[in-house]
Structures are given as C-alpha cells and as structure tokens.
A and B are shown apart, each in its own frame.
Chain A
Amino acid sequence: MADRHDEARPDESSHSETKSGTTKSGTRFTRRGFLKGAGAGAVTAAVAPAILVSEAGTAAAQEAEGVMSATITLDVNGRAHNVEVEARTTLADALRDRLEITGPKVVCDRGECGACTVEMDGKLVFSCMTLAMDAQGRKIETVEGMADGDNLHPIQEAFVEKDALMCGFCTPGFLMSSKSLLDANDNPTPDEVREGLSGNICRCGTYPHVFEAVMSAAEKMRKGG
C-alpha cells in the first residue's frame, strides 16, 4: 500500500500563459491567489524528486523510461497555455489548479458525476479521468468558452429562462453535455436528451428543468437564434 503522506502535492508548480502575461490572480488579493502563494514554499522540495526523469544518457533510453513530469501545452478554448504537470496530474486538476479555469468542477473525482465534463477534440470526456499529458495537442473546450463575450450561448440562456439550476455546481457539466448533444443532433427527442445527459448528476434534482431547457434551446437554435 502506498503511503499518502510521502507524496508531493499534485497541484504545486508554475504555469504561464503564452498569449497574455497577466495571471488572473494578478495584484488583487483573492482566496485562490492566497492559497497558491501560501503553498509556494513547499513547492521546490516536493517537486524536485519527480524531475529525476532518467539517469540514462540517450534519448531512446529516456523515452523508454518515460517522464514523471513535463511542461506541456494545453489548448483551452482556443488559447495555448504552457503548464508543468506531473504524470499523475489530471486534466481537471491542471485546468483548475494551474490555469484557474474553474468551470469544470471536481466532485466525485471518479468519472461518475459529470461535473468535470469538458470537450476534447469535439468529444465529451471527464477531465477528472483524463491525464493532463494525454490532453496535449488536443482542443479542449470548457464552459468558459461557451458564451460569446457578454452574449450567453442559447443553451445558457435557456438554462436561465427555464430555471435549470438550483445550487449550480453541476451546471457547467450539464451545459457541456447539452452543447455536445445539440451540436450532434439539433432536434433530439426527450429520450435522446436524457441519454445525452445521462453522465451528469444533479444532487438538487432539477432534471426536469434541465431537460426542458435543452429542448427549448434546441428549438431556438434550429430557428437560428
């Protein structure tokens, strides 16, 4: 059995954005920014052993040994981000803890609840069960990419109109699943909507309103709105 206490924390390494130099925490004092700063002291010591990738000299031997950490580029909502991750870092953790893209939520962390749902190369996946390294070179879409500036996506508008959320924690996942469903089928039956959203759980139980919102959004989108 592994000893949990010996491990490096998974969420502590640097990240940078290639297009914009400013991080969202910026100079403002935020809870997230504070937590990041507070953890920084432990970073160097914790990550150092993981960087001992291979003692073998040749590139081929290194390839066979594999990597325990690497700097990768993630394409999220059309924007490239460089981020250092460990092999075990999930896409959900990379997005949330390093890139501060917090639309995808980590709830069950086992691929059962759907709150972490994102699109990868146009396919709906659980970001909590995807390794960040496997997301390299793929197009990742999160709920942050749905609206066009201040204009909500028709599905988001329908969620507001139909009161399709209570606590709202599952909503980003439901929105991604709804979008993926309607992108593939703009005229679904109620059963197809239920099947398309079957990987998402709402603990408040607002499913009827969610289904109503998706049907209403589908109608609106078919009319070009």
Chain B
Amino acid sequence: MQNFSYVNATSIEQVPSLLGRSWDDAVVMAGGTDLVGEMKDYAAVPKRVVNLKSIEGLDYIRQDDAGLRVGALTTLTDVLGHGAVSQDYPVLHQAVSVIASPQIRNMATLAGNILQRPRCWYYRSEDFPCLKKGGARCYAVGGVNTYHAIFGSGPSYIVHPSDAAPALMALGATVNIHGPRGGNEVAMDDFFTMPEMNIRRENILRPNEIVTEIAIPKPEANSRGMFLKVRERESIDFALVSLAAQMTVVNGTCERASLVLGGVAPIPWRAVEAEDYLRGRRITEARAESAAEAAVEDAAPMPHNGYKVQIAKNLVKQAVQALAS
C-alpha cells in the first residue's frame, strides 16, 4: 500500500473541499473494509484519505411512517440488529445477514456496501492495467470470465458485488448525496451507471461528493420480500448470483413485483421484463417459470459464466413462487 495523507473530517459540509477533482487526489473512508483492500492491491492509490468516522451524528437509523433513514456511518451489524429492519424489511435483513462475516459487518457501513468497487480478479490484480484503472482493455474478454457479467455489452464486464444494493433497490430506496453545491436525493435506480456511460466508476458520484444517507420507504402492508444468494462457499463469499425480490400479491394475483439481480451485471440489475410480465397476472408455477425466462431474455453470457443464467432463472422462479404462496 502506498502511504497517503490521512484527514479526519469534522462535518459533512467540509468534506467536498477536502476531496479533489480526481479520484487519484482523495477518497473517503468509512469502514474501510473495501478501500483498504483496494489500496493494498494498488487498485486505488489516493494521495489523501478523508476519514468520515470523525464526523459526529452520521451513525443512526431513524424510523418514521415513511420508512427508514440510515446514516452514512451506520454499520451492517447495526442494520441487522435493528428491530424494524427484521420486522418490516426482510429483504434487506436477509441480504445484510449474508454479507461477509461478523468482523466485516462490525466495521463496514451500509452506504459503503453499495459503493464497493468490483471484485474482478483482473481489477484487483496489480498486473492487469484494465479499463477500470484507466487501461486499454477488459481482461475478462478473452480471459477467465467465470465470475463476470452476463448482462450488458461492455466494454467492462465486472459485476456489482453488493448484496445490500439489490435489496435497497427492490425496496425503492434513495441515496442522499452531498457535494460542493449542497445535497440532493437520487433514486437507487438512477444512482448506478453502466460502463459505457462511465468506465472508471459504477455510480454517478463525482470525486468530491459523498453519500450521507440512504432512505428506505416502508413497503406496502400487503407486500412481501426475500433475498436469495448463491455462492461457492457458504460463509464470507460474494454472490455468484443473488436476487432481491419484493412483491405485492393479492388473492394470488401479482399487483407489483420488484426484482433486482446481483452478481450478474456491472450494476444491480433490475429484471424489468420479469416485473412487467408478472404485473396483473395470477401466479402459477408455469408463470413463475415464464417470469424467470423473461428475466434472462437479454442475457449474453461469456465463455465461462453461462451457469449464471440458470442460477438467475432458478432464483427468480423460486422467489416468485415463495412470495405468492
């Protein structure tokens, strides 16, 4: 790891001026579980690291009729332990419960989890100057792409590694961003960006902006949610494919479905075709299967990751049937 200058921020307002115009100038750190790894792998070589943990009052979960507001410094352990999360937001609770390990969940924040950088082995290796690091090519193309994207058309084929992001997106969460011109709120659906739009990053944040809060609307009383995650190892592993599902089913008929896949695309991947197919339909096994087919309609697997298509289908079918029963 290259040394850097470490700055303790004291207020949100101060942060944009402590950050720079480029990601090479300065980055923010909260839990640090992703950033420290990135710096050890020389995927991030910032001149300055701005510590957010020194800011008072950013560690909270506030609950009102509209839903939950989670501060930027709230850890995954605190999200997991919050009564309202387990009671009313099972899709989020289940997602957070399968993130990494107790040690990581004690350190890592919910906001940091959705801002994780790719786990792609080329990105994380010093030996591969890939597109994401300002290089000329994506080494997954023509390389070993077992864990890469089955959706999207490049030019980078990383997958978004977050488990919390699909869950938050399925719940219709919004992200509060603070920058030099103040704060604004952005829907999670508009927060993440595909590589063709922004090859170096996975979301709309500029180098001098930070996420200050995640707001999660309370699900409709008659809707239900669940999170499914398939991984190679049953603990402390990233998803091969995950699915966050939130559905409103009345008398066996789906009124609304929110289905977001993880581990399959450079961003959390909303299965729009499956959602559209399910709306207004009575759920049967055959229709759950059709929804699963619709979810992977646009999949374009690479030579080594075709297995992800079948996993994605299985998860959609399983969740749709479970939430309709």
Contacts and interface: CB of A to CB of B under 8 A. Distances in A.
Interface of B is mostly: mixed
A109 interface: yes
Nearest to A122: B106
Contacts of A130: 32, 36, 107
Contact of A129 (B37, B48, B126): B37
Contacts of A69: 3
Nearest to A113: B236
A131 B3 CA distance: 12
Contact of A124 (B1, B4, B103): B103
Interface stretch (B39-47, B149-157, B305-313): B39-47
A135 to B, nearest CB: 11
Contacts, number: 109
A2 B42 contact: yes
Interface string A94-123: 000000000000000111101001000001
B325 interface: no
Contacts of B17: 64
Contact of B3 (A8, A125, A198, A200): A8
A192 B77 CA distance: 15
B126 A67 contact: no
A221 B8 CA distance: 42
Interface string A123-150: 1111001110110000000000000000
Given A109-B40, A111-B33, A198-B236, A126 B103 contact: yes
Given A87-B49, A124-B106, A199-B101, A65 B5 contact: yes
B39 A124 contact: no
B102 A65 contact: no
22 contacts: A7-B3, A10-B1, A65-B5, A67-B5, A67-B6, A68-B3, A68-B5, A68-B6, A87-B3, A87-B49, A88-B2, A110-B40, A111-B33, A114-B103, A123-B106, A126-B107, A129-B107, A131-B32, A131-B36, A180-B102, A196-B102, A198-B235
Given A2-B45, A4-B42, 13 more contacts: A1-B129, A8-B3, A65-B7, A68-B5, A88-B1, A110-B40, A111-B36, A125-B103, A126-B33, A130-B32, A131-B6, A134-B53, A199-B235
5 A-B pairs closest in CB distance: A199-B101, A66-B7, A198-B235, A66-B5, A87-B6
Interface of B: 1-8, 17-18, 32-33, 36-37, 39-40, 42, 45, 48-51, 53, 77, 100-104, 106-107, 126, 129, 133, 235-236
